[in-house]
Amino acid sequence: MCRYQTLHQNEFGCLSSCRNCDRLQLSFGNICLSLSREKFYSLARLTDDFNEQVQSCLEAEERPMFLQTSAEEVKVLLGKAELEMLNDLVQCGIISLEINEILMKNAD
């Protein structure tokens, strides 16, 4: 049974980590993903790269954008603010995961 610890949350969602199975749960708007660490880090790279591209494009503020996932048939439609908040969740989540790993190593 999963026991989740919240890593980061903002007005758009929440990122949690299971202490038992080491999976991550990303709740964002009306989407909830359960991800392995490998898939989570892939998503983090994807959102960070996409966010950087959008920040440099002036038109992005007005139009929704499609974030292509690793599943060809699944795309996520995001506005600029939503993309920024999704990127905030995953990037701050990475920092929290790294801090937790350091603390666990120092506790041993």
The alpha carbon of residue 5 and the mean position of all alpha carbons in its chain are separated, in whole angstroms, by 15
pTM for the model stands at: 0.82
Per-residue pLDDT of the chain (108 residues; tens, 9 = 90+): 788 899 999 999 999 999 889 899 999 999 899 999 999 998 899 888 888 877 777 565 566 777 777 778 888 888 888 888 999 999 999 999 999 889 888 876
CA–CA dist 1, 51 (Å, integer): 35
Full set of structural domains in the chain with CATH: 4-107 (2.30.31.10)
- pLDDT given for residue 99 in this prediction: 92
Q: What angle do CA 41, 42, 47 make, to 5 degrees?
A: 95
Residue 51's pLDDT is what? Answer: 82
